[in-house]
Structure 1
């Protein structure tokens, strides 16, 4: 399953997802204390929230639209097959608006967003994007790092320049997901080679750290890896999309461990169906967008089955429904934000 090259295509078979990140675009301020326990990872190049959410937490069953929701389109009030999302300072979302070939910034209480990368049209110039699928923030250089999937490259894009363009940092890769660890290593998933590589910034080749043994369902293999997440111990989590599972690869491990799904495509609580967006909290609890089941699931550490926390009411556009959720993110309070791709919106589900 790959990204459609037709802008705003409605074909679900052409829909995949990107990774949500909790990175601060403009500030390094420490978040204020809150009754829920949240840790702020303060780093010279990256700032993001790592929520430690109580295992019995619940979320409202009905979401509120905080971006898009006005049908698909390329106006700044609209989204077109959005993929990825992260929240910073509880006030701003950065959305990968893939079908519009742009990255858009959206304030929580505003009706429209602002383009910060790309120009609404696909292209391979350095001031253009072509179906971007993931983005993170490199605070040290005050830049976006973008998986420019349609151009088979990873680009660095300055945040604050009015006439900005990208700089290629990795080329000739069918990238999908991006993340960075606290040693400033960049991790990139490659859907064609069924692997995840780790790069030191400036390194063009990288090192295979997961997969790389061909397409397959063995513990040392992946099948179309999409979203990735790295914790403070450099443990890598991978949405192994076409194997319908989430894999955990310990640092320097030769094979992975199945930590969610892995029982074939299906809709029971032991199964996933083309998982995408992925986040792991400080307790080791996994939150995953179970895209083809139109739900978000929570898998506690070493659990044999997950629980549905949002959606799961068939696909649709009602406030308690999702239609191919692709990415998820949390704010410091534990409120859950979901890219509801084929409803062309971002939904917020408040923690109770």
Structure 2
């Protein structure tokens, strides 16, 4: 593909989705390059007209709203200020929208648009458009909160305080949240293969706490060294290490001005605050046990989740004097009732001041709505919609759409809620230390691009899981499946494209529940190569049954295959590498109208399995000038051959390999072999696609079937010794097939007696190039009988 296709659309590296069906997705396939707007399709003209109408209507609405709410009478309460600001953000949003529309149209029509302009559009237009949309959403949320407070307080509603809060909120709203709450598409997918961002030498042993701010600074509490480790964006190595007198911190939280709140309750009964402006620590809250969760809400209220006291407490940071803490949730007595908690850990407070608690030992997530002491179970087996079972949840985050993201500690995974209930995001393959596994994760945080950073507790590391925005699908009818594995030095090998150097590969069986168009996309640090086969894959003939192949997508060194699959057919997806001998982790993402069932069948091939000697066999014979001859290829008749009868004691896959100084060729027949017609009953043949000296078969054999193995040579008139090596799940019996010649002599004798009583037809058994039949004439044997 041309270079620009990697910049515009879902393959733009910094392209931001999540605002519905994007303009690129709608227009790019309809726009005709180097064609004026008047000559474009009707759908493009209609889109242009509707966009102009939307812009004019939005412009009029924003102007009228601004005129209405700029009057002082409309600003008696904070709601008027929010609406005034909303009219401005709405005007900016609709303006950016029409700029975006014409940018997409004009750059797609003009193919000579420079790469720098295309990248500029990716970097500038989309983030600004999304920022204005977010601001509008937050303003609407502020309006809803104030109206709820007004209803609750009635005549006691403080208008002056409402205006003061609104004024502060409007000024700091774009910067008020210190943490990232990305807006993800409905089919959001993360690469299940993580990257180790930092190991034990940097973050210490048993990592609890991590925080990523809106400017993409990463903060980690190293409880082993009692330090706070910081990374600025794009930095691979720590850029700052803060030393303090805190002991074994279990949590931390960073505010938008860079101040850090860190747990110091285990030994010193307090929460400390590191002030960014002065580089000093002060006490921010007094507690009498460790805070396993910390949070600061939009009203500057500090929350502490006290694990041992089964409570969440809070205090306002605006108070001049440090007063005693107030109870936010829990009675202080462990229990399962709606107002109780049992060893709570992670906490989250949304802009509506609703408190979410990871109620660890009750194996649930509780929602305490603002001002309520009774919680609602929103995740876990006791919830109203128990779509997922949690074991000891320890962390929780809400995204921009208020979907839950939960650290499921006991199951060593991260899960989330969505339109269709809960699903696993990362760590979905059981606990472990592989790159696609976690072992008892404690907390996590999003960066501003939606990537996930996980404190992998028992593996003593930070794992980064990349958000794969290019896999966002803009229709709810599409189902996604994720498969993760890795190629190692123990993986199967084959000669890709008949090369002389082996490549590691994994064979994945693919079955679909609904026929339709499916897309398979790889993600790996390796340069991956993908092939799809029908029915089965023969590693000794990589061209046999091959349907599709793809080596990369837009220069990203990953394959992308879009194929029509049927429910009645089994497909094999081969994942290998461009480089020979490359190893590493990889993921395959499948999307289509239904779930694509992906199952590894590479463990390992029957040739590589070390079966016991009792189920391996070796058979030796030779071809001589006294061996029978036939026409193997219907062109030449002087190929020496041997026939061997095969039977198996157990149905399954078996491997048969020849070993000889000759250039051997093999065929397998079902029930019988007719040398007069070598294509009759033919089951499998060594096509020698890669010019191997010896043939190699992987065949599925049944116990109740008779098979005939025919060994011959690639060229005629060749003689010599050969060996047949077999392996499989059970014994395979090889015996010379001596009845073959007698069978066909009887058959031909019967034919002679019935059809040709005046001639001697048995000389055809010598397979001469021609035979004379008295009364009929001369026939070419190889043309008339053998083929």
The interval holding the TM-score normalised by the smaller chain is: 0.7 to 0.9
Residue 261 of structure 1: aligned partner: 380
Shift in alpha-carbon separation, 1:213–1:343, aligned structure 2, 3 A: closer
Question: In the TM superposition, what are the counterparts of 1:144-155 in structure 2 within 5 Å?
Answer: 144-151=260-267, 152-155=269-272
Aligned equivalents of 1:294, 1:278: Cα separation in 2: 14
Q: Does 1:194 align with 2:302?
A: no
Residue 401 of structure 2: aligned partner: 283
Residue 88 of structure 2: aligned partner: none
Q: Does the 8 Å CA contact 2:178/2:255 hold for their aligned counterparts?
A: no
Q: Does the 8 Å CA contact 2:363/2:390 hold for their aligned counterparts?
A: yes
Q: Does 1:115 align with 2:233?
A: no
1:44-79 Cα shifts (integer Å, max 9, x gaps): 7753322122232011110111122xxx34xxx343
The counterpart of 1:323, out of the listed 434, 439, 445, is 439
Shift in alpha-carbon separation, 1:105–1:160, aligned structure 2, 3 A: farther
Aligned equivalents of 1:204, 1:262: Cα separation in 2: 38
Q: Does 1:347 align with 2:463?
A: yes
Q: Does the 8 Å CA contact 2:177/2:214 hold for their aligned counterparts?
A: no
Q: Does the 8 Å CA contact 2:203/2:222 hold for their aligned counterparts?
A: no
Deviation of the 1:338 alpha carbon: 1.0
Question: In the TM superposition, what are the counterparts of 1:95-114 in structure 2 within 5 Å?
Answer: 95-107=220-232, 108-112=234-238, 114=240
1:183-223 Cα shifts (integer Å, max 9, x gaps): 11111112222111221124431221211151101111100
Q: Does the 8 Å CA contact 2:180/2:214 hold for their aligned counterparts?
A: no
Q: Does the 8 Å CA contact 1:284/1:300 hold for their aligned counterparts?
A: no
TM-score, reference length from structure 2: 0.36
Residue 253 of structure 2: aligned partner: 136
Residue 214 of structure 1: aligned partner: 333
Question: In the TM superposition, what are the counterparts of 1:1-352 in structure 2 within 5 Å?
Answer: 33-34=126-127, 39=134, 42=172, 47-68=178-199, 72-73=200-201, 77-89=202-214, 91-107=216-232, 108-112=234-238, 114-118=240-244, 128-139=245-256, 142-151=258-267, 152-159=269-276, 161=278, 164-167=280-283, 169-201=285-317, 202-212=321-331, 214-263=333-382, 270-300=388-418, 306-352=422-468
Aligned equivalents of 1:327, 1:83: Cα separation in 2: 7
Q: Does the 8 Å CA contact 1:198/1:206 hold for their aligned counterparts?
A: yes
Q: Does the 8 Å CA contact 2:178/2:214 hold for their aligned counterparts?
A: no
Aligned-partner SS, 2:254: strand
Shift in alpha-carbon separation, 1:78–1:231, aligned structure 2, 3 A: closer
* Stretches of structure 2 lacking an aligned partner (at least 5 in a row): 1-122, 139-171, 469-787
Shift in alpha-carbon separation, 1:216–1:171, aligned structure 2, 3 A: closer
Aligned-partner SS, 1:323: coil
Aligned-partner SS, 1:53: coil
Larger radius of gyration: 2
Residue range with higher mean Cα deviation, 285-294 or 165-174: 165-174
Shift in alpha-carbon separation, 1:340–1:113, aligned structure 2, 3 A: farther
Deviation of the 1:91 alpha carbon: 4.4
TM-score, reference length from structure 1: 0.77
Aligned equivalents of 2:368, 2:247: Cα separation in 1: 30
Aligned equivalents of 1:249, 1:288: Cα separation in 2: 16
Q: Does the 8 Å CA contact 2:354/2:370 hold for their aligned counterparts?
A: yes
Q: Does the 8 Å CA contact 2:229/2:240 hold for their aligned counterparts?
A: yes
**Larger RCO, structure (CA 8 Å, separation 6 or more):** 1
Shift in alpha-carbon separation, 1:283–1:225, aligned structure 2, 3 A: same
Q: Does the 8 Å CA contact 1:237/1:246 hold for their aligned counterparts?
A: yes
Q: Does the 8 Å CA contact 2:270/2:286 hold for their aligned counterparts?
A: yes
Residue range with higher mean Cα deviation, 291-300 or 145-154: 145-154
Aligned-partner SS, 1:229: strand
Aligned-partner SS, 1:100: coil
Q: Number of paired residues?
A: 300
Q: Does the 8 Å CA contact 2:207/2:223 hold for their aligned counterparts?
A: yes
Residue 27 of structure 1: aligned partner: none
Aligned equivalents of 1:237, 1:85: Cα separation in 2: 18
Shift in alpha-carbon separation, 1:91–1:194, aligned structure 2, 3 A: closer
Aligned equivalents of 1:262, 1:35: Cα separation in 2: 41
Q: Does the 8 Å CA contact 2:380/2:390 hold for their aligned counterparts?
A: yes
Aligned equivalents of 1:46, 1:157: Cα separation in 2: 18
- Name the one with the larger strand percent: 1
Deviation of the 1:181 alpha carbon: 1.3
Aligned-partner SS, 1:292: helix
Shift in alpha-carbon separation, 1:307–1:45, aligned structure 2, 3 A: closer
Q: Output the aligned Cα RMSD.
A: 2.7
Q: Does the 8 Å CA contact 1:190/1:196 hold for their aligned counterparts?
A: yes
Deviation of the 1:300 alpha carbon: 3.0
Aligned equivalents of 1:327, 1:36: Cα separation in 2: 31
